[in-house]
Structure 1
């Protein structure tokens, strides 16, 4: 059975959206809109690439390499102290009767700084002196007895020779003489004991006068009249005396990283907060081997001798020292900023395109860089307005300037220290 397809009425096609002219118009609008978007994107990317490809202008700051004297230093901090500081104590216990000095008093060796009450000790001295007198009297009596016994023995011996006295009488006389001799020795020993006691009491009385052991200045007085001093367990410190404040020492802490270049006899200069802008000279006297460890930081104490003729420096002042470890004359130097400088990097392969959005570039291979040998650095000089690299070998540095040991650099050449993009 043959069936013929009859076309659908126009109303039905319109209702079903099958109108051909309408469909074409919609696709045309979409194509035009897509073309406009692509054109806008392409124009924007072209403008960006054009702007990026323009070589940026830079201004460069330069400094001339020069031949100078390079002074290499090590920095350390410490405190000013007297070279000799003596603590004066009391060997005797008692009540302080008088104090003759105060802080900052100038004293000479042997000056009386203070006195303790000595009434009790003088009474004890009188007693032992009386004991000494009694012992001397006993010695005189013993000597008299000895003389008497010697006479009696002589008489007994004479009578014995004549047969008048018996042997027993002679023996008794000899024994009595021996006892008299022993009595004299005992009395003499008693006198020595009494004399020793007198000497001890006199010494104790002398110790009640506290004397200065050195010439110097009283830094600290820790006692007042009427105060009780007890020295039975530990002698209390009553005065602290600095022997000579015209010569002092700086006890500086040297970091373990710097101790290898610090030597005996090196010169130094230091500053204190009390006199800003003024440098004081010093010389290293000793460097201790014993380490000081604080919060896992290891330092070593160096003692520097300081002249203080003006008496400006005081014990305990905090000082910052710079120790000269190396002084190089007439060497080629450049600023450290020149060694740190790196020129602006060129923008290679950073442009965009439509294809780069959909097809990204493959990753760049890792760049192999050869390490710079120890002591070899790069500096940059200007040629035709652009930085050109020079390889140099460097030496000592003072923190601001660095010595150039070898390379194509000569004095007077301008080295680049910084750059910035010029404003359009």
Structure 2
């Protein structure tokens, strides 16, 4: 309460009418007291309209700054989110080195020449003169059959031959008699001027001579037949002693004394001989996908279970054109020559061969995983402006990696390299591959480039 506005009161508490101010003085006092309580604020723009515009500019400026701050935050969040979804790239530098293309195939060792020995005759085995692992020479007797029946047959054949020869003598005598009789009849006819003998007698004499000539020829043919039969029996007797057809070693034996041998359309195998075990042949089955790289004269190394840590050298001498189909798998037989000077290898051993099909020296190499790689976002993650970052996008599909053969017969493929933080696709020409690394060439690829082989999983 203002003191100027407080009326004076008497000691008894009543107002003094003489001391009360006039209405004019009261108004003046109220104006004076009200002036310092509400001072006037000066307008910086000089008027009320300018103040309104200043407030509008201030509001829009603050709103713009807030929008920019929000956009930056969203862009940063989208970038971090895209980076988290994309993950880090795993790279490997392009290097120079040597590359060898090997073809692996399995097979068995065989003798360079193996012969199965059988018998053309039926009979009983009387003696067996060799056993397994024996060295034999060509013409050496291996088995003897019982020859009692064969000897009897020879005696019979010789008797038949003697009878045939005797028949020839009889026929020749009859021929001579018929010839003499006919000559006498012709002489009588000449002396009698054809009056005697009669024509019938002359015809009979000529027919008798012709029959005698035929009987001589028949008897001689019988002699030839008997001679052939005797020769056959002599051959059978000789074959009762079964001999080695080649020099070699006995690999197997399936006969013993006392066994009965029955000859049939297919001879029974009694022995198996190998010509020379110092030289063997390895037959391997090459898959149809690898046979195109296998050539004559290529070298190979193989191992057998008996000497797992010892590699043996071999050389390809033949690649068969005929195929073998087993369980729908097509393979081709390759023949490799093997030196077995120390006789450590044996026929029938299973071998695993590694054929050196091709070799490249000092070429650019990349891992095979680089050929299979494609970025999950197609190499465009994190690209675009603020508006693009705020727009929803469908998941990108990785492009298919396909090989394209160029005019030179090489295959072109697309690989991805990392330039800075961005993956970039380049085209290269492929060479040979050993299953882990592949030879590449081309203007776009250089030694030291970082090829992408994998993309780490996105952070959760």
TM-score (norm 1): 0.68
Give the corresponding residue for 1:239.
271
How far does the alpha carbon of each residue in 1:117-144 deviate from its partner, in whole angstroms, 9 at most, with x for none?
A: 1110110110110111122122223223
Q: Are the counterparts in 2 of residues 339 and 379 from structure 1 also a CA contact under 8 Å?
A: no
- Give the unaligned 5+ runs of structure 2: 1-79, 82-89, 376-380, 382-389, 404-412
Separation in 2, partners of 1:305, 1:325: 16
Task: Name the structure, 1 or 2, with higher relative contact order (CA <8 Å, separation 6+).
Answer: 1
Corresponding residue for residue 398 of structure 1: 434
Q: State whether residues 251 and 302 of structure 1, in contact with CA within 8 Å, keep that contact through their aligned partners in structure 2.
A: yes
What is the CA–CA distance in structure 2 between the aligned matches of 1:292 and 1:169, rounded to whole Å? 81
SS in 2 for 1:311: coil
Other-structure match for 2:303: 271
SS for the counterpart of 1:196 is helix
Match of 2:180 among 136, 147, 151: 151
Instruction: Name the residue aligned to 1:37.
Output: none
Partner of 1:130: 159
What is the TM-score of this pair, normalised by structure 2? Answer: 0.64
Please give the per-residue CA displacement for 1:134-170, whole angstroms capped at 9, x wherever unaligned: 2212222322333333333333333333339533555
- Residue matched to 2:227: 195
2:293 matched residue in structure 1: 261
Instruction: Name the counterpart of 1:207.
Output: 239
Paired residues of 1:390 and 1:409 also in contact (CA < 8 A): no
Shift of the 391–195 alpha-carbon distance from structure 1 to 2, 3 Å rule, reads: same
Tell me the equivalent position of 1:100. 129
- What is the CA RMSD across the aligned residues, in angstroms? 4.2
Give distance in 2, aligned partners of 1:319 and 1:390. 46
Q: How many angstroms does 1:246 deviate by?
A: 3.1
CA contact (8 A) 1:62 1:416 kept: yes
Size of the aligned set, in residue pairs, is 352
Shift of 1:234: 3.2
* Worse-superposed segment, 92-101 or 294-303: 294-303
1:160 to 189, 206, 222: 189
Offset at residue 283 of structure 1 (A): 2.7
Q: Which residue is equivalent to 1:119?
A: 148
Report what 1:298 is aligned to.
330
Answer yes or no: is the 8 Å Cα contact 2:106–2:353 preserved in 1: yes
Check 1:390–1:276 CA distance in 2 against 1; reply closer, same or farther (3 A cut): farther
On the 8 A contact 2:374/2:398 being kept in 1, the answer is no
Aligned to 1:328: 360
Distance 1:148 1:373, change over 3 A: closer
- Whether 1:177 aligns to 2:209 is yes
